[in-house]
Amino acid sequence: MSTKIIKIDIIAGVLYVLLTVVGLITLLFYSQANSLDSLLKQGLYFAPFSLMVVYAFVKKGNVDIFRKHENLHYLISTILLLVVLILGREVLGAKRSINLIFFTFQPSYYTRIILISSLAIYIARYNDLIKENKLLLMVKKSYKFIIFTILSALLILMEPHLSVLIITVASLFLMLYLANLDNKVVVIVVLVGLLILGGLFMFGHSYRSDRLKVYLKYCLLNPNRDEVVVTADQEMQIEESLGALSAGGLWGTKSDFGSAARNFVPEADTDYIFSFIGEEYGFVLSSIIVALFFALFFRLYFLSWKIRDIYRRYLAIGLSFNFIFTVIVNIGVAISTLPSTGVSLPFISYGGSAFLMDSFSLAIILNIIGREGVAK
């Protein structure tokens, strides 16, 4: 297929640029009370390079590189996940990134794109089997994807990077559900997934069960939360996060260097950046930022359904869900509606790897939408 020049969807493009600008402004305020490193790197390297990647891939790219070279991407992804375990940089007990010249790269972000693309390939290839409920036959024919998925999940768990794995699996599940997977199978898959997740929290690394206890203590939906006993160190992160959000009120602290800016909230420029946003900007502006995220998601999601090619349609849908799930998890952790886990806020949190791969995911979707001509 020719790589014809296509147009960028204006609405989605503007929303992406707005969120990027919000991220740079947020890091500017954060840097006023801290080092300028995060602002300079994001402003001089990560954001401009990511914007160029989005523009270049939307105009000239072709997502068929994933479909035509499926096995090659399996190999590259697996090698990168192995390399990060052997040579990766260890931070807070986890090996998730490989040191490059200007930034660190997290292979799990690349793997999630390949997993979503691969499932889209098999949905397109065996769409009739799904509709006819011949799932055993589809499983038999999809052995390469299943092996790659299990291997990738194990390697990502070894890093560990559970949050990316959970978000990716949730995206894969919704792709199958929207492809008309039988409702009985849906229920079984959900139950099995919850059992596995519960096992990882209860019988995996001790820090996961500690985070679950902290979540149960602060979750408003838990009627017995006062009976949950945690240590001061265990609850410090979420306690400071909620304190920062509360201090922001309706209109924020207006750069008065609140608790988040002064690093009372750990990871305030990455995993807990929404706590900083809530304290700095207040409830009103924070809500507008959340609305921008959902506006971008719904724009991408509804346009994706208009795509005629089945593979491209489900690739765009899967990446759209992956994007909004990442947003929901990051914000959910900050406001204690979800257990604590490490995931950045797309286009706003500091970090080159996540920023670049989130932008590349968006570029893939916009390329598909533009190539199909579904945007009006």
How does DSSP assign 108-128, residue by residue?
A: HHHHHHHHHHHHHHHHHHTHH
- List, in order, residues 6 or more apart from 361 with CB less than 8 Å away: 113, 319, 322, 323
pLDDT value of position 1: 41
pLDDT value of position 271: 85
* Residue 91 within a domain: yes
* Residue 286 within a domain: yes
Number of folded domains that form the chain: 1
* Residue 4 within a domain: no
Whether residue 205 is predicted with pLDDT greater than 70 in this model: the reply is no
Mean pLDDT of the chain: 84
Per-position b or e across 77-96, b if 16+ CB within 10 A of its CB? bbebbeebeeebeeeeebbb
Cβ distance 350 to 43 under 8 Å? no
* Residue 2 within a domain: no
Mean pLDDT of 314-320: 97
Per the confidence metrics, is the pTM higher than 0.85? yes
Question: Cα–Cα distance between 314 and 349 in angstroms, integer?
Answer: 27
Whether residue 202 is predicted with pLDDT greater than 80 in this model: the reply is no
Which tens digit of pLDDT belongs to each residue from 9-47?
Answer: 999 999 999 999 999 988 888 877 676 677 777 877 888
Q: The tokens 């699996």 sit on which residue?
A: 169
* Residue 264 within a domain: yes
Cβ distance 114 to 74 under 8 Å? yes
- List, in order, residues 6 or more apart from 3 with CB less than 8 Å away: 60, 61, 62
Amino acid found at 358: D
Mean pLDDT of 87-107: 78
- List, in order, residues 6 or more apart from 330 with CB less than 8 Å away: 271, 273, 274, 343, 344, 345, 349
* Residue 5 within a domain: no
* Residue 1 within a domain: no
% of the chain residues with pLDDT over 70: 89
* Residue 349 within a domain: yes
Q: Residue 139 sits in which domain range?
A: 10-372
Cβ distance 48 to 357 under 8 Å? no
Provide the token pair at 96: 């998730």
At how many degrees (to 10) do helices 143-158 and 162-178 cross?
Answer: 150
